Amino acid sequence: MKKKNLLPWTLALMVLAASCSKDDVNPGGPVLSPAQGVYVLSEGSSNNATLGYYSLSSNTLTGNFYQQQNPTQAGLGSIGNDMTIYGSKLYIVVNVSSDVVVVNAATGTFIKRIAFKEGSTNKEPRYAIGAKGKVFVSCYDGTVAVIDTTSLNITTNIPVGTNPEEMALSGDNLYVANSGGLNFPNYDSTLSVVNVNSLTEITKIKVGINPQSVTADDQGFVYVSCTGNYGSVPAKLVKVKISDRTIAKSADTAAGRIRYYDNKLWVTGGYIGSPYVRTLSTADFSQTRANFVTDGTAIAMPYGLDIDKQNGDVYVTDARDYVSSGQLLCFDKTGKKKFAVNTTPGVIPTKVAFNR
Amino acid sequence: MGPRVPVTGFLRHCPPKADGKATRLKASQKTCLHHFIAELSGERLAGFIRFAGALLLFFTFLFLFMTLLTRYIANMGRMAVVILTGLITTYASAQTPDTLNPVNVTGTVRTDTVLTTVLVQRFDKKEWIQFNSLSVADVVRFFAGTLVKDYGGIGGLKTVSVRSIGASHTGILYDGVPMSDAQGGQIDLGKISLDNLREVVLFNSQPPTLLQPARAYASAAVLSLRTSGDQADSTGATAGIRAGSWGFFNPSLTLRHKANKHFSQSLNGEWQQADGSYRFDAYEQDGSRAKRNNTDIKALRAEYDAIYRFNYTSRINFKAYYYSSHRGLPGEVILYNTRSRQRLEDQIFFAQAGWQKRIALKSRLAINAKYQYYYNRYTDPDFLNAQRFLENRFFQREGYLSAAYTYEFNHILSAAYASDFTFSSLRRSDAYTENFPSPDRHHFLNNATLKARWDRLDIQGNILHTYLQDRVKAGNTPRILRAYTPAIAASYQPVAAWPMRVRFFYKKIFRVPTFNDRYYTLVGNTNLRPEYVRQYNLGVAWASRDFSNRFTWSASVDAYYNYVRDKIVAVPRQNLFQWTMLNVGTADIRGIDAVLYGNKKWNEHWRTSLRLSYSYQRTLDITNPSSPLYKTPLPYAPAHSGSGNVSIYYDKYTLGYNLLLSSYRYRQGEPIRENMVEGFLIHDVSLARTFAYRGQQRIRAIAEVNNLFNTNYEVIRYYPMPGLQFRVGMSVDF
């Protein structure tokens, strides 16, 4: 992005930042304001986790936004795995550096680097989600760490299953996919239910081997993609009924990331790899669209998948060959491309967050 | 999702094949022996018989060998006695040593390594003793066209890639017998000490000699290491000790015994240890310094050599080699995370024997046999599985037999035939043993060479046949690999009066997928094809003919083109838990290697020598026209690199100055600033002198200052290299 374009919106963001300093989040049905831009986090190969920012007003991407806003910082660290905006802050989970980097969600300026250590051992944080004035971070050491959003310290570590991955919030409960991925060949197969008020694990629901991605709908169900063991046990998609914690539906289909929007499930191809994002019926997992893209736009390796629930725009990140810079693609909900931009220097873009 | 592999740390530690492999044992040693005995059971033998056809030739040679052997049975008996009485008893007698003058450096240009059909680069002990040199890697980096991937420090992995073809394409001969690592495919040159070596030679394509194993033809380049094992032309001993920065301590001892004109033997042992925790410029903050963690190493090496010369036409040599090390794997520097606790232990044992015989005047026979055992153990006490501990234990065994035969039809035409059989197996013994394919590999190589030599023209061509079959106990069995690959080389002297040769070679060769490529748990891919490379070289070499030895020089320039296809690379699947090996790379590599050597004797006190090498290369990734990487440079391939060695000899003193340079490179990814790895220029100096002891120059002392300007640099991104360091050493000949 050219400097000329950058200045006006930076100022606008700073004004906005000043206006929303409290970390209260509307607990009711979210009334979302339109996104002004999107952050895109790239994992990187090593020590080059990258945060870029795409301005929806100027339609330009600043590839190394974090670096630009924080020239005195050395970089995000190694393997940017996930991020979430909660309140006025953006929480960036840096897996191998074992940190959560907190920046101002409006400006991208550095606030704090929270070290994720248990004694001297790295906790290896994976995913983050905000609720009830806290940010919950799943960690490979078998816990969900709770960050207090005012002190920006870890206040509690909630024990869950082995190597937890993605989490979804439904009501006052957090559904945590326990993969057991590092415990090969004895994978975990449970979903931990964690209450966000009591900060304890209430129960575990058995869903299937190696659960990884999880999403909740607004009708009392949680969906989990179970990756299987990459061999004899195939990948599965599982629908869990929250009220009685039973499996409502299970089907053998490989799903990588799963998202719920517009009464449909949006899924990427899973570990086998697929150049398509499919849409599935939530009722019986039947395929409503084999490729949600309708205008012929090709995606080499759909990796991250996020949907702007305010307008239904679907953001797909393309990891390409995993070694060169990826791509951020935005489609409207009918599958027509709105824009596509290289995430240079970001390698393996994985997550999009909306700056509203 | 992070790039994590559940089974082992290897992909996490960047240098895939090697870092994650583990090393050494103690209590488990017994178990291993049991495994080995089980291995030799009839089941495996039955498998061999199916290849009887190819073995037939082999048995013929063996038979011949045995027949001839019986003729020398009396000698053999004597030899056995000598071995049994052993070295110690003979040492007690303390025989008078022959003249050994360590400063007697002749430094002449060797036309046999200059005016060759392929580029041959060579260093001998007298030369590298002035470098900052501990392992073979430290010598090889001074050769033109080489890239030593050095992960830093004494214990850091070091592999050599020649002309950017990739380290797995470099074959290594140890006293003429191939060294191999069927698991990872790349030998860590950092583990091969220089202490017992006398010569390191790098051949592009292949050595032009005729009498050699078929495996010598099966790589894109060959690094030949010659030990001093067959140099025991006197009885005596050499004791050495070196010490230096970061806790480096390295004593060594060589015992040499010459029993009579037939039999000699030697024993060489060495201990190396270092804490290696050097400082480097911290990545997180400008101006601050950080320290490498978990860099300690302890290594023991012992080598026994025996040689028996029946007469001028026949000899047998035997070598036993043992290496054991225990080291920390510091891994790459991770921003904001200094924790590093992975360890590697390894243990290598091999025994090899060779028999060379001249039959009549026109033919020669060489038979080599080898057994190799390799154990490695990798541990990660921070691994977040249920046990909070990751352990990988691998056992590799290899049996090798080779027969080579040459025949001279007349003074122009000669031919050679070589047949090799290698059996390798990989086993693991850890929590992941279940469903491990436990592969066995039968690898046959047959090579026929024809060589014609006129006064001014040499032409040599060969064709190599490969037959490779893997058997597995679980999972898919890969297809049998059969291939014919040719090579041709020629050199021509255009003007009879000029000591100059124009040369050309072409070679097509491949590397076979390693055990890791095919069977690495969850990662390996049994459908891999071999990775092919085609090499073309055109060069010119000049060697001066001043036999007075006052001033000699040589120079060569070679231009080359390499085309690599079906490169085997690790590619993550959708979720980075899951990587897989695929044949996805194509590379176009063009370059120039230039080498200049000069040696001038000024008077009886002063002598100087100079060696310069320069390489230019232009490497292009031409895998996928729609990729952002299309037509970008290959990772870590610099456009310009070079080295220089200057030695000044004055009576008992030798001053050495060495320099190594590389232009900037890019790590994997696009050629953008974020991926750039800066170039470097490193200077080392050394001063050596010899002292008299009991009437002769038997004591040699050396002081080295390496990385003179304390340059902070990287060969591989985020693996900082050591800065300024000091080392002193002394050796005494008895």
Per-residue pLDDT tens digits for B52-65:
444 344 434 444 44
CA separation (Å) from B623 to B141, B586, B596?
28, 5, 35
What are the tens digits of pLDDT across the range B576-590? Answer: 456 788 888 899 999
**ipTM summary value:** 0.88
B648 confidence band (pLDDT: 50, 70, 90): very high
When comparing pLDDT for A68 and A11, which is higher?
A68
**Based on the number of CB atoms within 10 Å of its own CB, is B572 exposed (0-12), middle (13-18) or buried (19 or more)?**
buried
pLDDT confidence bin for A237, thresholds 50/70/90: very high
Cβ pair B478, B527 in contact under 8 A:
yes
Asked if the Cβ–Cβ distance from B384 to A140 is below 8 Å, we say yes
* Chain A residues whose beta carbon lies within 8 Å of the beta carbon of residue B580: none
Asked if A182's CB is within 8 angstroms of B383's CB, the reply is yes
Q: Decide if A81 touches B, using CB distance below 8 A.
A: yes
Sign of CA dihedral A277, A280, A286, A292: negative
User: Which chain B residue is nearest to residue A116, measuring alpha carbons?
Assistant: B337
Cβ of B573 and A81 within 8 Å?
no
Best CA proximity match to A16, nearest among A98, A85, A97, A95: A85
pLDDT, one tens digit per residue, over A274-332 is 889 999 999 999 999 999 999 999 999 999 999 999 999 999 999 998 889 999 999 99
Predicted local confidence at residue B546, as pLDDT: 66
B287 pLDDT tier (thresholds 50, 70, 90): confident
Inter-chain contact A97–B334, Cβ cutoff 8 Å? yes
Cis amide linkage into residue B208, ω under 30° from 0: no
In whole angstroms, give the CA distance from residue A123 to residue A117. Answer: 5
Chain A, chain B: beta-carbon pairs less than 8 Å apart: 150
Helices (H), B437-536: 515-519
Q: Is residue B359 a contact partner of residue B382, using CB atoms and an 8 Å limit?
A: no
- Asked if the C-beta of A310 comes within 8 angstroms of chain B's C-beta atoms, the answer is no
Provide the percentage of residues in chain A whose pLDDT is more than 70: 91
- pTM for the model: 0.85
Radius of gyration of chain A (CA): 19
Q: Which helix (H) or strand (E) holds B43?
A: helix B42-49
Are the beta carbons of B181 and B119 closer than 8 angstroms? no
- Are residues B628 and A113, on separate chains, in Cβ contact within 8 Å? no
Contact B578 A271 (CB under 8 A): yes
Whether the Cβ atoms of residue A217 and residue A282 lie closer than 8 Å to each other: yes
Assign residue A296 a region: left if phi > 0, alpha if psi is -120 to 50, beta otherwise? left
Q: Phi/psi of residue A69, each to 5°?
A: -80, -20
Predicted pLDDT of residue B11: 32
Task: Tell me the average pLDDT across B393-405.
Answer: 96
Q: What is the pLDDT of residue A22?
A: 43
Given this model, what pLDDT does residue B24 score? 27
**Rounded distance between C-alpha atoms, residue A121 and residue A141, angstroms:** 9
A167, B160, B161, B170, B570 from B17: Cα distances, Å: 34, 13, 14, 15, 10
Task: Give yes or no for A44 touching B (CB within 8 A).
Answer: no
Q: What average pLDDT does this structure show over A338-352?
A: 96
Residues B138-147: what's their mean pLDDT?
Answer: 94
Chain-chain contact of A324 with B332 (C-beta, under 8 angstroms): no
- pLDDT > 80? residue B337: yes
The closest of B525, B532, B528, B536 to B490, measured between CA atoms, is B536
DSSP B87-136: HHHHHHT-PPPPP--TT-------GGGTSSSS-EEEEEHHHHTTSS-SBH
Contact status of A163 with chain B (Cβ, < 8 Å) = yes
Chain A environment of B717 (Cβ under 8 Å): 46-47
**C-alpha–C-alpha distance, residues B128 and B186, integer Å:** 23
Instruction: Answer yes or no: do A345 and B573 touch at CB < 8 A.
Output: no
Question: How high is the pLDDT of residue A7?
Answer: 45
Residue with the bigger pLDDT between B111 and B146: it is B146
- DSSP letter at A153 equals S
The mean pLDDT of A337-348, rounded to a whole number, is 96
User: How distant is the Cα of B386 from the closest Cα of chain A, in angstroms?
Assistant: 6
For residue B333, pLDDT over 90 is answered with yes
**Which of chain B's residues have a Cβ under 8 Å away from the Cβ of A185?**
432, 434-435
SS3 of residue B80 by DSSP? helix
Residue with the two structure tokens 């005016």: B115
What's the mean pLDDT in B305-327? Answer: 92
Q: How far apart are CA B518 and CA B414, in angstroms?
A: 40
B372-388 average pLDDT score: 93
B77 pLDDT higher than 60: no
What whole-number distance in Å separates Cα of residue B636 and Cα of residue B631? 15
In percent, the amount of chain B with pLDDT more than 90 equals 66
Interface test with B, best of A46, A141, A167, A343 (most B CBs within 10 A): A46
Would you place residue B361 in the very low, low, confident or very high pLDDT band (cuts 50, 70, 90)? confident
* pLDDT tens track for A159-183: 999 999 999 999 999 999 999 999 9
Contact yes or no for A43 and B576 at CB 8 A: yes
B627 neighbourhood in chain A, CB within 8 Å: 320-321, 324
State residue B522's pLDDT score.
77
A108 confidence band (pLDDT: 50, 70, 90): very high
Q: B233 pLDDT band (50/70/90 cuts)?
A: confident
Give mean pLDDT, residues B118-124. Answer: 93
Residue B649 in this model has a pLDDT that exceeds 60: yes
Q: Which residue has the tokens 């001969």?
A: B173
The 10 Å Cβ neighbour count of residue B592 is 16
A83 band by pLDDT with thresholds 50, 70 and 90: very high
Q: How close, in Å, is residue B114 to chain A by CA atoms?
A: 41
Average pLDDT of the residues in A206-225: 96
Mutate to test the interface with B, among A322, A341, A342, A343 (most CBs of B within 10 A): A322
Question: What pLDDT score does B232 carry?
Answer: 66
Contact A122 B337 (CB under 8 A): yes
CB of A74 less than 8 A from some CB of B: yes
In sign, the C-alpha dihedral spanning A68, A73, A78, A82 is negative
Q: What sign has the CA pseudo-torsion A228, A234, A240, A246?
A: negative
Provide the percentage of residues in chain B whose pLDDT is more than 70.
Answer: 83
Tokens for B50, please give them.
């199916």
Most confident of B218-232, B447-461, B683-697: B447-461
Q: Which residues contact A170 (CB under 8 A, 6 or more apart)?
A: A216, A220, A222, A242
B543's enclosing H/E stretch is strand B531-543
Q: B457-514, pLDDT tens digit by residue?
A: 999 999 999 999 999 998 899 999 999 999 999 999 999 998 999 999 999 999 999 9
pLDDT of the residue at A321: 86
Interchain contact, A181 vs B432, CB within 8 Å = no
Higher pLDDT, B574 or B585: B585
pLDDT at A6 over 80: no
Cα distance between residue B344 and residue B321, in whole Å: 20
pLDDT digits (tens, 9 = 90+) for B548-560: 668 889 999 999 9
Residue B519 and residue A339: Cα distance in Å, rounded?
A: 42
Provide the mean pLDDT of chain B.
84
Q: Is the pLDDT of residue A197 over 80?
A: yes
Q: Which residues of chain B are within 8 Å of residue A181 when distances are taken between CB atoms?
A: 4, 6, 577
Q: Look at residue A355 in the predicted model and tell me its pLDDT.
A: 95
CB-CB contact of A106 with A150 (8 Å)? no
**B12, B336, B522, B675, best to mutate vs chain A, most A CBs in 10 Å:** B336
